């Protein structure tokens, strides 16, 4: 039974749906007597029509209502109205732990704090003889004030038919009407072995589930998996979880919780709290290499006193008796004024001695000694990008205002060295030579003396399709690494060049910024370190012979990216110290979230990714998402269920830009998109392809001008696109394009009405961007729909509303008349907080479901990933 907003159950008025699962449908409702919002859980039909089970459920609900704990969601009552049985529950704000884990594992301290609150709630319930039986991240809420609240205590038992052979074995997910594999798998993965075998359970089943949830918080994945319920349950019963994937301080606790024999398992969850406390790390460190030990100890001792710093030890490869890989976290510096946070781009570069790191965040250059508590902002460095150190650490070079500059961290003195518009990286040799890669009107690599002067080209005969970036001097100061972003993948890669003009050699086929880490021990090879997608890789490399020597290996996973530039989020010092981070500067990651008309968060459709553009299929069941690559910025289209799930790759980019602007055909069978930089073809093309990938891509339009694909008309099977500053239509099967608007003003947002009679578009011809509607084809009429600024117009599928984003970020809805001509009402504010732009700045940040009751919104993720510092990462890999 689905309830509509406005429906009343006794004195409760339904506001909106907020969830659905094995225990019934859940709604936000308004309590008319007490004037508060509550959650209404409508019970499944098979339970509501069984008097015996309703009576038992009422007994269980009364027992659960006795629970009074801040970490347990309260039950206000079990009610019946018009034949509908429902629970009245505390409405807990915030996201579920499942939604949080969907974005990645929690930081250790955050995970243990959440685990402590979960355990405390379980202690309260277990002391009253109540077992949860269905503990999982989806039943745990994280509130905005950092509290953890457990939902649905004991309801699993209450919903099971005691007359069934499996009365105590299964959660409500396994009742007859709940057979969707994804839902079943979500619960089966948290079952204890005794539950999986259908045996009676007690509080030790909750302790098992607590261990599973903790493991998932720390690692981002479930310890027991499989392709179906049978495989998952078999894994629960037979497989041993890979506890070495969890942080060391958690392994003893996890092993006690995930003991398959309940007799040997941790007997009381209160003991788990004690184990968490016992496992907290002490502010000490195992010996590192002798040259780094003193400052490392100082750094760790300082950081141990800071709440934002996290330290742990972990082995890499096969550590010897005197050294071990050591990791710690540093927080990015925060400017004193929130207004200073203008740019999201972040860079970091270690000093040659590995003792300090130069950081660019909030549009300014900072220096953070690793043994200090705070970073220090350097004056007159606003707009800094791509910092690099002098070999003696006395200067930091950077680019700002189309100039190459250097600043002394000690004195604050800033000097301009030369003009360098749009530059991408530089390096400073021990012989006083700086090489850099400008992009504004000049290409290739240039050199200047360290005191400034006239820049001299190192690559005067550069081919037209070649782009050089990110030089990095090797130790001798004559040869250097650099990235070649040529469009031909057979020529792109990491190269070694020389100041004497020797013909460059390709070292690796990946076009990305690379650094060289000298060997820790004499006689060993160093490593070329580079980022491929979100993985930091190391390739053994002999810097004297300029050749690779061994097997490539991964150093760290989950790395971020800096803009769209191929500049990896890492740095390596001359002594081998490594820093990296997992954020996404320049273009922050977004997650796709379903929201109601009132703005309530309903569910997460797609986890955090570099979302460039997205579109919902006509039947609302699927979503096409254009995502950017982790490092090189290449875009591909992926398809997935609109309710979530695993996406499938739809296009396969091998070029710098790739595919984007997906739109669905009216019947949902095809997806249209644009692509550019295709070798041997016109620069830009609109293509279409079967959504089931049963056919090859077909070209609809080829043009030498930049293309923006806007819509696929349901009325006349035409594609709407902009190119060359004008708006065009073209038959979806291909043919002659026809101009709709000769000169566009502003970003090319445009949509045809479902009946094909009207065109909504955006223009800033008269000042601020506004949403306009005109007849299609044009016949003289023009209506300004947005009175106070607007962009991103979108029609409801029945043409009864037009939506747009207001200039202040609100989603607006305009009622549309159904008579001849065009009649529209006053814009209504639905909810706030829409991002100003997506992707490259002209993509929609919302999509409307066909009935206009839900909206899929791209929400920028908070970019607070810390900096990881790693010592002795080469241990076990040197050769």
Bridge partners (DSSP) listed for residue 355: none
Active site includes 134?
yes
- Alpha-carbon distance values, 445 to 440, 481, 572 (Å): 12, 11, 22
Nearest to 166 by CA among 211, 143, 198: 198
Q: Are 258 and 223 in contact (CB under 8 A)?
A: yes
Q: How far apart are CA 672 and CA 688, in angstroms?
A: 4
Q: Distance between CA atoms of 471 and 476, rounded to whole angstroms?
A: 14
CB 507 within 8 A of CB 516: no
Phi, then psi, of 301 in degrees rounded to 5: -65, -40
Distance from C-alpha of 851 to C-alpha of 796, rounded to nearest angstrom: 7
User: DSSP label at 105?
Assistant: P
Question: Tokens at residue 21, please?
Answer: 């699962």
Cα–Cα distance list, 278 to 107, 251, 272 (Å): 18, 12, 10
Query: Cα(276)–Cα(120) distance, rounded to whole angstroms?
Result: 12
Residue 515 Ramachandran class (φ > 0 left, ψ -120 to 50 alpha, else beta): beta
CB 833 within 8 A of CB 855: no
Q: 3-state DSSP call for residue 400?
A: strand
52's CB contacts (< 8 A; 6+ apart) are none
DSSP assignment of 306-324 equals -TT--EEE---SS--SS--
Which residue among 50, 120, 134, 244 is the active-site one?
134
Buried b (16+ CB within 10 A) or exposed e, 862-876: ebebbbbbbbbbbbe
Query: Residue 518, class by beta-carbon neighbours within 10 Å (0-12 exposed, 13-18 middle, 19+ buried)?
Result: middle
Residue 826: alpha-carbon gap to chain centroid: 36
740: left (phi over 0), alpha (psi -120 to 50) or beta: alpha
Report, as residue numbers or ranges, the catalytic residues: 134
């Amino acid at each position: 039974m689905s309830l509509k907003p406005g429906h009343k159950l006794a004195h409760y008025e339904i506001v909106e749906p907020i969830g659905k699962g094995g225990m019934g449908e859940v709604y936000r409702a308004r309590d008319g007597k007490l004037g508060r919002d509550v959650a209404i859980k409508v019970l499944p039909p098979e339970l509501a029509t069984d008097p015996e089970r309703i009576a038992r459920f009422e007994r269980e609900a009364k027992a659960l209502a006795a629970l009074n704990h801040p970490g347990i969601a309260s039950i206000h009552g079990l009610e019946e109205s018009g034949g509908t049985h429902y629970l009245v529950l505390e409405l807990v704000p915030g996201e579920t732990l499942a939604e949080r884990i969907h974005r990645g594992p929690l930081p250790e301290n955050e995970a243990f704090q959440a685990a402590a609150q979960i355990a405390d709630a379980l202690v309260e319930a277990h002391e009253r003889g109540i077992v949860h039986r269905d503990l999982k991240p989806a039943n745990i809420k994280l509130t905005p004030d950092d509290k953890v609240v457990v939902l649905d205590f004991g309801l699993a038992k209450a919903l099971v038919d005691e007359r069934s052979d499996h009365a105590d074995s299964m959660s409500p997910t396994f009742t007859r009407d709940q057979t969707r594999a994804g839902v079943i798998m979500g619960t089966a993965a948290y079952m204890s072995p005794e539950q999986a075998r259908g045996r009676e359970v007690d509080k030790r089943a909750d302790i098992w589930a607590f261990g599973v949830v903790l493991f998932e918080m720390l690692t981002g994945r479930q310890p027991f998996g499989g392709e179906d319920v049978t495989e998952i349950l078999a894994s629960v019963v037979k497989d041993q979880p890979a506890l070495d994937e969890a942080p060391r301080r958690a392994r003893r606790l996890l092993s006690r919780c995930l003991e398959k024999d309940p007799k040997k398992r941790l007997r009381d969850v209160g003991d788990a709290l004690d184990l968490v406390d016992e496992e907290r790390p002490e502010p000490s460190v195992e010996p590192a290499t002798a040259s780094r030990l003193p400052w490392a100890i100082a750094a760790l001792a300082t950081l141990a006193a800071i709440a934002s710093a996290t330290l742990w030890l972990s082995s890499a490869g096969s550590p010897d008796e005197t050294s071990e890989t050591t990791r710690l976290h540093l927080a990015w510096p925060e400017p004193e004024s929130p207004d200073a946070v203008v740019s999201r781009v972040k860079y970091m570069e270690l000093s040659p001695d590995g003792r300090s790191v130069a950081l660019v965040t909030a549009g300014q250059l900072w220096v953070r000694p690793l043994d200090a508590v705070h970073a220090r902002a350097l004056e007159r460095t606003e707009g800094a990008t791509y910092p690099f150190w002098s070999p003696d650490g006395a200067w930091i070079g950077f680019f700002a205002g189309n100039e190459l500059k250097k600043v002394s961290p000690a004195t604050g003195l800033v000097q301009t060295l030369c003009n360098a518009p749009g530059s991408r990286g530089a390096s400073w040799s021990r012989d006083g030579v700086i090489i850099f890669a400008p992009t504004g009107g000049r290409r290739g690599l240039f050199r200047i003396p360290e005191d400034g002067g006239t820049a001299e080209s190192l690559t005067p005969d550069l081919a037209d399709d070649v782009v050089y970036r990110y030089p990095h001097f090797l130790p001798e100061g004559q040869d250097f690494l650099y990235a070649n972003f040529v469009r031909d993948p057979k020529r792109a890669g990491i190269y070694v060049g020389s100041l004497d003009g020797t013909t460059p050699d390709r070292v690796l086929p990946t076009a990305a910024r690379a650094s060289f880490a000298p060997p820790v021990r004499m006689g060993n090879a160093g490593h070329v370190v580079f980022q491929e997608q979100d993985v930091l890789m190391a390739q053994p490399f002999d810097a004297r012979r300029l050749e690779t020597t061994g097997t490539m290996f991964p150093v760290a996973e989950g790395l971020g990216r800096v803009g769209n530039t191929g500049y990896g989020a890492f740095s390596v010092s001359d002594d081998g110290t490594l820093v990296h981070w997992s954020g996404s500067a320049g273009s922050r990651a977004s997650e796709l979230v379903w929201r109601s008309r009132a703005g309530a968060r309903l569910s997460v459709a797609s986890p955090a990714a570099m979302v460039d553009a997205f579109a919902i299929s006509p039947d609302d069941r699927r979503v096409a998402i254009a995502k950017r690559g982790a490092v090189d910025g290449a875009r591909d289209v992926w398809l997935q269920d609109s309710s979530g799930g695993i996406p499938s790759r739809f296009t396969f980019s091998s070029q710098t830009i790739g595919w984007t602007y997906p739109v669905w055909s009216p019947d949902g069978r095809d997806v249209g998109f644009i692509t550019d930089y295709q070798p041997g073809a016109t620069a830009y093309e609109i293509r279409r392809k079967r959504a089931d990938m049963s056919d090859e891509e077909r070209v609809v339009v080829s043009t030498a001008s930049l293309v923006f694909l806007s819509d696929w008309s349901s009325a006349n099977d035409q594609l709407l696109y902009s190119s060359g500053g004008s708006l065009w239509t073209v038959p979806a099967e291909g043919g002659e394009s026809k101009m709709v608007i000769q000169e566009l003003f502003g970003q090319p947002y445009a949509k045809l009405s479902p009946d094909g009679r009207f065109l909504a578009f955006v223009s800033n011809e008269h000042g601020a961007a506004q949403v306009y509607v005109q007849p299609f084809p044009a016949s003289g009429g023009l209506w300004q729909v947005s009175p106070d600024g607007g962009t991103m117009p979108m029609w409801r599928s029945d043409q009864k509303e037009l939506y747009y984003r207001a200039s202040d970020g609100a989603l607006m809805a305009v009622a549309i008349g159904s008579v001849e001509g065009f009649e529209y009402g006053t814009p209504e504010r639905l909810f706030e907080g829409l991002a100003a732009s997506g992707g490259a700045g002209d993509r929609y940040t919302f999509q409307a479901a066909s009935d206009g009751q839900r909206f899929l919104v791209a929400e920028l993720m908070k970019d607070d990933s810390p900096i990881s510092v790693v010592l002795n990462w080469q241990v076990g890999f040197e050769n």
